[in-house]
Amino acid sequence: MTLMDVIASRLTGPLYARYEGSKRYAYMGEIAGVLGGSLPEIREYQLGRIRAVASEAAQNTAYYAGVFRDLNLDPAALTWEEFRRLPLLTKDIIREQGERLVNRRFPPDSLRESATGGTTASPMKIYMDWDSVQRRHAATMVFDRWTGFMPGMRAGYLWGATRDFPAKVSLKRKILNALVQRNAFYTTESLDDATLRGYCERLRRTRPALLQAYPTPLRILAEYMLAHGIKIDVPAITCTAEPLTDDARATIEKAFGRKVHEWYGSREAGRIATECGAHQGMHVNAYGLHVEVRGHDDAIGGGEIILTDLWNVGMPMLRYASGDLSSLDETPCACGSSLPRLSPVKGRTAEVFVSGSGRKVPGVAFTNRIVKDDSMIREMQIIQQDYTKFLVRVIPGQGYGEDARQWLVGRLEEFMGQKNEVVFEEVNSIPRERSGKLLFCKREFDPREPEPERREAEA
């Protein structure tokens, strides 16, 4: 820890938080206490928070007033069984209901507005009250401490979502960043050799205590480091926003000589789960969120993640259907924490391939299985356009050719259990979604129950 790390984490950071009216540093002790409790204690705390948020929702939002009236439920006395009777809050409902979900007790200018990420054409707006914003920030700070990173230490972000970059670097922002935030952003829009060389030099010069990144660009940087014998000491490395494959993790850890900590979050819910030092899954942020996994499907190896925000009463979100897929493990972790753990998120529901026989196949798992030789394929995206029709976008590597294409066709046939029509498209870059994320796999059609004759033909 440098002298500036100490000054920023213990003096200028807390002082600036007090100046802007934020209690995020004060909340850190409370959060750590809840996260360190036993599972029964955590569940008792969560039910209390659910009742508090549900009461606000029923009293002060038009939408939830109708929900609790129709179900004849007392929000202040909800049991777990009654809570699970609440309808899922979907993205379509949020778009349709709009202001009817917002707490009328809060003046509009007191709420923080955030449009969600994702790939849909019409992003939905989420509003948060200021206290819940502070608690969300504080929870992130607590989880980051698991990696050894303390608020105020220098951090680097190899980041694809340019909306998170400072819009204008004023003198005030420069001073604030130098004394308090101490963040450096590395765009992933262009990662040619010159850019990667510059990033390596900058990382060596600034010596961040934390490097947070999208897995794909970090893997590309790691490959460049390994190819050129470059060593960079970054004490903490975290990955999020895209699936972290086993091969990418191994490459990154080899290049940096450090273990990677994966975490999972969203614009709607903030930090949802974080990988601990035991690396046996991602521990749920049970202070800020209640997490369910609904509709477990053996073919997928998980179900849909359902989230309830335990603090945001500005726009209550009870049983929000995230669209992400995972499984939940409540057995003890080797690290000693009682927090439930999420397995690596398997992707959006739109990223689950569907065969002609109706079998669900997680596309991310396919990518994990075949992307073994990065000299042959630099990057790849598989798009399912119909049951048996696929478009494969490839950034060719050394050795890529007809043999590689036929090998990929065979692996896809084996994985899907059917013959497929596969079109290859060689590209210089894989287009990212509006959020900045790179989707390894996409499904562009709406699956339906296949006709009986189709089932018979494939049998």
Structure tokens at 47: 């039910």
Which pLDDT does position 293 carry in this prediction?
Answer: 95
**Pairing state of beta strands 236-239 and 260-266?**
parallel
> What is the rounded distance in angstroms from the CA atom of residue 349 to the CA atom of residue 121?
16
In 91-239, which ranges are continuous DSSP H helix? 91-97, 130-144, 171-176, 193-206, 215-227
> What is the rounded distance in angstroms from the CA atom of residue 36 to the CA atom of residue 42?
9
**Pairing state of beta strands 441-443 and 377-386?**
parallel
Q: Residue 238: which residues within 8 A CB-CB, separation 6 or more?
A: 144, 147, 210, 211, 212, 213, 260, 261, 262, 263
Question: 260: closest CA among 241, 246, 245, 239?
Answer: 239
- Give CA 458 to chain center in angstroms: 37
Which pLDDT does position 175 carry in this prediction?
Answer: 73
- 283-to-28, 295, 340 alpha-carbon distances in Å: 17, 21, 6
> What is the rounded distance in angstroms from the CA atom of residue 47 to the CA atom of residue 51?
6
Long-range CB contacts (within 8 A, 24+) of 369-372:
369/411, 369/415, 370/408, 370/411, 370/415, 371/245, 371/247, 372/247
For the chain (length 459 residues), average pLDDT per consecutive 10? 79 84 92 97 98 98 98 98 97 91 96 65 78 96 95 88 60 72 80 90 95 90 96 96 87 97 93 96 98 81 91 98 90 95 76 80 63 64 94 88 91 90 93 64 76 41
Question: 259: closest CA among 237, 244, 240, 241?
Answer: 237
> What is the rounded distance in angstroms from the CA atom of residue 48 to the CA atom of residue 192?
52
Which pLDDT does position 8 carry in this prediction?
Answer: 79
Domains parsed from the chain with CATH numbers: 3-345 (3.40.50.12780), 349-458 (3.30.300.30)
* Cβ atoms < 10 Å from Cβ of 80: 11
Which pLDDT does position 398 carry in this prediction?
Answer: 78
Q: Residue 267: which residues within 8 A CB-CB, separation 6 or more?
A: 114, 115, 116, 117, 126
Question: 131: closest CA among 99, 106, 104?
Answer: 106
